Amino acid sequence: MSSSSIPQHIAIIPDGNRRWAKANRRPSLFGHKKGVEVMESVCYAALDRGVKVMTFWAFSTENWKRSKREVNYLLALFEDVFKNRLEKFHKENIKLMVSGRTEEFPKKLQNLITNAVTKTKNNTRGIVHLCLNYGGRAEIVDAVKKIISEKINPARLSPETISTHLYNPGLPEPDLIIRTSGEQRLSGYLPWQSEYSELMFVDKHWPDFSEKEIEQAIKEYQRRERRFGK
């Protein structure tokens, strides 16, 4: 794999955990557990290849509509990640960032998120950015609310005004967005930031995604020519 033109920011919609579990005759919740394990391994594989930011849509604003049992299981998984996997991320010099309406989570999870973000804020190897209770329209609505609260003159509004009021405005826009499990839509994922992102749709369910697939995705990205409207 050429070291040139490595995507600096890859954003992933890790879809298909439940379908993977069903196909493998496992409980549907086991698919989410396996998905978290794959997320961690793919992070390290991508960073080892020169990617600087890995973003994952781990929980959408629509996911609250799922069964109470599944939602509680997912929240418990997030608690485990921020509590029991934090030391490894920190030791690996990885910075954790989170975007979304996390204030709607249980207080315990909110505190774990805050602690993880604070503890790793000075790490420099790369960034793992988790979208939790995230929706693209919700992010834009929240950005507009911030702008209104700051009483910014409407005549001064620009695309940069919106960009600087997003959840984590310091992050670069994604070069490549990958969605697994055969779905060919973004479903409101990073709508503002994805204007010129390259898109890649993979048939494999997320738990079957591996280091091999992330390497293939980077190679495919390198074969494309980005024009940025030119």
Cα 108 to Cα 201: distance, rounded to the nearest angstrom: 35
Taking the CA atoms of residue 216, residue 205, residue 11 and residue 30 in that order, the dihedral angle to the nearest 10 degrees is -130
- For 87-175, list the strands marked E by DSSP: 94-99, 126-134
Is residue 118 in a domain? yes
Let me know if residue 193 belongs to a domain.
Answer: yes
Q: Structural domain tally of the chain?
A: 1
Kindly state the helix (H) or strand (E) to which residue 134 belongs, with its residue range. Answer: strand 126-134
Categorize the per-residue pLDDT at 110 as very low, low, confident or very high, splitting at 50, 70 and 90. very high
Catalytic residue at 123?
Answer: no
Q: What is the mean pLDDT of residues 35-44?
A: 96
Q: 203: how many CB neighbours lie within 10 A of its CB? A: 10
Q: Which residue has the higher pLDDT, 155 or 3?
A: 155
Please check whether residue 95 lies inside any domain of the structure. Answer: yes
The single residue of 17, 24, 48, 63 carrying the catalytic annotation is 63
63 is catalytic: yes
Query: Do the domain assignments include residue 158?
Result: no
**155 within domain boundaries:** no
- d(Cα 172, Cα 166) in Å, to the nearest integer? 12
Predicted confidence at residue 229, as pLDDT, reads 75
- Asked if 126 contacts 53 with a C-beta cutoff of 8 angstroms, the reply is yes
Q: Evaluate whether residue 213 is within a structural domain.
A: yes
Domain that holds residue 83: 9-133+174-220
Q: What token pair was written down for 32?
A: 């989410």
End-to-end Cα, the chain, rounded Å: 27
Q: Region 96-122: what's the mean pLDDT?
A: 98
pLDDT in tens, 128-161: 999 999 999 999 999 999 999 999 999 999 999 9
Q: Using one digit for the tens of pLDDT, what is the confidence trace for 7-19?
A: 999 999 999 999 9
Domain assignment present for 84: yes
Residue 192: CATH number of its domain: 3.40.1180.10
55 domain residue, yes or no? yes
What is residue 26's predicted lDDT score, i.e. its pLDDT? 95
